[in-house]
Structure 1
């Protein structure tokens, strides 16, 4: 189960008990914001893109109100921004659509954090399913994702 993978990952940092499980779906930015009672921009959405090698994924965590800038993405990663197909998401990220997160991913997935998140004191990434999240500061998010590095591949409205 995807939530279990995320919790096991977060347990290595003493944060498994901080996972919030909601009774309502948090599968989209809007639903997550409603379920958690926060502004949509603070939802840290994990976008799943095709990686540079076959069978790999790039997971980019961006603010809920951010959109990917295709030119910036290509400059940062050297590949065109192409979202994974629904049938590829779980295989390459370890999580089903609606619960994709930067925790408990297989080696086929590379995580990067977008600077659009840094304007908030804390953000809420999903935790492996469509009804879970965790509140983390950006420093905590970087730490629990293995300090993957910050990129600027988004634009704000």
Structure 2
């Protein structure tokens, strides 16, 4: 059902993109990177958070970690991860398949600048074995996301992916 919501969203807004479904689970960053033949950093993980009374999605590079101080400065409060049941109820997608496409509830979407290190990223597509290959700027445009800086990348990570 949720992969179908993503397919429906893409059919309307980006018919040239296709959902890639794998046999194996891609529910974690490491599994997704192996399955799609990319680095973990290229996996665009979508985090479901509550900041004060707002629920938001933050899409970030797979190897990035949220910085609570940055989130508080940018979004005005301390972030709290949603529970799995809340995630499904609000996004329509299971944990491990959450993406900013085809949401059950309209939610503000933010893209962390860590994604801009890559020409192509791989977000999930509504299930724990599906994904889409997409340029980060195009993804942000499709979902009306705002670019923010709320994460830390591992030491030694280049600001921009090498060609």
Note whether the superposition's TM-score is higher than 0.5: yes
Question: What is aligned with 1:15?
Answer: 15
Q: Identify the match of residue 84 of structure 2 among 64, 72, 86.
A: 86
Question: What is aligned with 1:35?
Answer: 35
Contact 1:7 1:16 in 2 (8 A): no
Q: How large is the Cα RMSD of the aligned pairs?
A: 1.4
Structure 2: gaps of 5 or more residues: 155-163
Q: Which moved more, 1:88-97 or 1:67-76?
A: 88-97
Q: CA deviation at 1:17?
A: 5.1
Tell me how many residue pairs correspond in the alignment.
154
Contact 1:57 1:108 in 2 (8 A): no
Question: What is aligned with 2:152?
Answer: 155
Deviations 1:42-96, CA, capped at 9 Å, x for gaps: 000001101442xx52110000000000000111111211000122110112211
1:139 aligned counterpart, secondary structure? helix
Give the whole-Å Cα distance in 2 for the aligned partners of 1:77 and 1:149: 12
Structure 1: gaps of 5 or more residues: none
Q: Identify the match of residue 117 of structure 1 among 99, 102, 115.
A: 115
Q: Which moved more, 1:59-68 or 1:81-90?
A: 81-90
Q: CA deviation at 1:10?
A: 1.1
Question: What is aligned with 1:58?
Answer: 56
Give the whole-Å Cα distance in 2 for the aligned partners of 1:5 and 1:84: 21
1:118 aligned counterpart, secondary structure? helix
2:79 aligned counterpart, secondary structure? coil
With the length of structure 1 as denominator, give the TM-score of the two structures. Answer: 0.92
Q: CA deviation at 1:108?
A: 4.9
Contact 2:24 2:35 in 1 (8 A): yes
1:18 aligned counterpart, secondary structure? coil
